[in-house]
Amino acid sequence: MSKLIINGGRPLNGSVEIEGSKNSVLPILAATVLNSGVNIIHKCPKIHDVKLMLRVLEYIGCKINNEGNTLIIDSSTANKTEIPEVFASEMRSSIIFLGPVLARFGKVTISYPGGCVLLLALFYTETSKLE
């Protein structure tokens, strides 16, 4: 078992900046479609999947303002219910737009998310064996 031994007698002090998490921010970004207004998200990580999610939001009509690590998303102008294959196929997390877009507009069209083509091929192969 590992252990940490601290010798000293001096008090520890300081601060640590906590960054945002990709696994938290991706569903939050998709949920911005729901409120039909301005959303402010602080400490948003600057990673590829976040950039792709922002491209989807822009495509469906949201206005994006990026100020450092803060995103301001105005979803009042969102007006499309289709997530094109070019976006959906690039990341598995694109499927999380399904619920918010459906809830707001009553319909949604989305391609299979990235990484699912192989699973879909396996599904059709296995089901054809049943016939």
Cα–chain center distance at 111: 16
Q: Would you say 83 and 111 are in contact if contact means Cβ atoms under 8 Å apart? A: yes
In this structure, the number of other CB atoms found within 10 A of the CB of residue 46 comes to 11
Beta-sheet pairing, 109-110 with 82-83: parallel
Is 116 tagged catalytic?
Answer: yes
Catalytic residue among 75, 104, 116, 126: 116
Please state the φ and ψ torsions of residue 74, each to the nearest 5 degrees. -100, 105
Residues 6+ apart with CB under 8 A from 53: 26, 29, 30, 91, 93, 94
Which residues form the catalytic set? 116
